Amino acid sequence: MKRMENCIVAAVLLPVLLIPGLSCKKVTGVPESDGVLVFRFDGNPRELSKVSEELPDTNDFLITVSGESGDVVFDGVYCDLPEKLEVPSGSYGIFVRSEDFEGLRFSSPQYGDEQCVVVPPGGVMTVSLGCRQINSGIRLSVSPDFLTAYPDGVLFIKAGDKRIMYGYTEKRIAYFSPGSVSLVLYDSGEETVLLTRTLVSQEILTLKVSVSAALSPERRGITIDLDTSRVWTNETFMLGEEDSKGASYENALTVSQALASIGREDVWVSGFIVGGDLTSANASFAPPFKSASNLLLGPRSASSSRENCIAVQLSAGEVRDALNLAEHPDMLGRLVCLNGDIEGAYYGMTGLKSVSDFVLK
């Protein structure tokens, strides 16, 4: 069964960092086998102008330049970097950041950029560094009715093997490395994971934690809004009604929710068709596409990382005939709802298999 419906999908265009340019000109005094790296910072992306915290001075950024064999050419403060860094020709990894960051901490946004460049023999590579947030964050807004319903409850934020207590009056953002983050409630000696989301760099998730007016256990819920200074997403999650999420295409799971819902069957998942031609380690994000048997579903139309996507198996039939990118490259970037079973291993990723129905939006 195929259904088509018209709806307006709001898109937010994020500024794109400038790509480093290659200037292959002769440098006097540099051996033929060597080249030169020149660094500069571009202006701050527009979205950072909305952020309330003071941005760090780029002169104080930490920068590491390493060769393809792993040898470190420079590791120090940006202001101590030579104006022209002479290096043997070859590939170099460049990682610049406002601070070294690990784990889970309050008020620790990490800004920076990471690039891989090739220095030609006797030439100059000018590297334009961006200044964007490269970790993720989460903050809670706890309403008084939640405190009334759980007077002895304690909320935790958990990322990886780290956790941090989030007080009901806490206003700060808790930052963590991009990936999964969970909201955990400890109450009456029991620990409950309320929800888990997967965030990418530059994403700040604001959770408004509250209960419904009825205050009945089955109606207690969490309303989710997202910090408008970074990435826009809207979602509602009701405690006690998790199983109903995904029961229809109107209430489909997001890609992030699907990644945390392995084992669910006959469920609807909503996302953008962002790629295909899957292998156990790679995927294609641009045409031409060769395979009609699979595609990649992402949380946003510009998604370009396998880690944030779900793999979709397209068995022979109506769904494959309508959506496969080999025959329909125009489907790239389209928002679609798919009905199938979420499994943990498909081309080394979380997969949606046995897809039986779809709705294009």
* pLDDT, tens only, 284-314: 999 999 999 999 999 888 788 888 899 999 9
Specify the pTM.
Answer: 0.56
pLDDT band at 231 (very low <50, low <70, confident <90, very high): low
C-alpha span between 236 and 222 (Å, rounded): 7
What whole-number percentage of the chain has pLDDT above 90? 47
Comparing C-alpha atoms, which of 339, 324, 344, 336 is closest to residue 361?
336
Name residue, tokens 């408004």: 208
Q: Which amino acid is at 73?
A: V
- On average, the pLDDT of the chain sits at 80
pLDDT band at 215 (very low <50, low <70, confident <90, very high): very low
31 pLDDT above the threshold of 70: no
Q: 27-41, 226-240, 303-317: which has the minimum mean pLDDT?
A: 226-240
C-alpha span between 198 and 257 (Å, rounded): 8
φ/ψ of residue 323, rounded to 5? -115, -15
Q: Spell out the residues 6+ positions from residue 8 whose beta carbon is closer than 8 angstroms to its own.
A: none
* pLDDT, tens only, 157-175: 999 999 999 998 898 999 9
The answer to whether the CB of 155 falls within 8 A of the CB of 220 is: no
The answer to whether the CB of 296 falls within 8 A of the CB of 272 is: no
Does 288 sit behind a cis peptide bond, omega within 30 degrees of 0 on the bond before it? yes
Q: Which residues pair with 35 in a beta bridge?
A: 87
* pLDDT, tens only, 122-134: 999 999 888 888 9
Residue ranges and CATH numbers for the domains of the chain are: 21-133 (2.60.40), 136-244 (no CATH), 249-360 (2.40.50.200)
pLDDT band at 200 (very low <50, low <70, confident <90, very high): confident
Q: 82-96, 214-228, 279-293, 344-358: which has the minimum mean pLDDT?
A: 214-228
For residue 7 the two structure tokens come to 């709806």
In SS3 terms, the chain reads as CEEECCCCCCCCCCCCCCCCEEECCCCCCCCCCEEEEEEEECCCCHHHHHCCCCCCCHHHCEEEEEECCCCEEEEEEHHHCCCCEEEECEEEEEEEECCCCCCEEECCCCEEEEEEEEECCCCEEEEEECCEECCEEEEEEECHHHHHHCCCCEEEEEECCEEEECCCCCCCCEEECCEEEEEEEEECCEEEEEEEEEECCCCEEEEEECCCCCCCHHHCEEEEEECCCCCCCCEEEECCCHHHCCCCHHHCECHHHHHCCCCCCCEEEEEEEEEECCCCCCCECCCCCCCCCEEEEECCCCCCCHHHCEEEECCCCHHHHHHCCCCCHHHCCCEEEEEEEEEEEECCEEEEEEEEEEEEC
C-alpha span between 355 and 268 (Å, rounded): 9
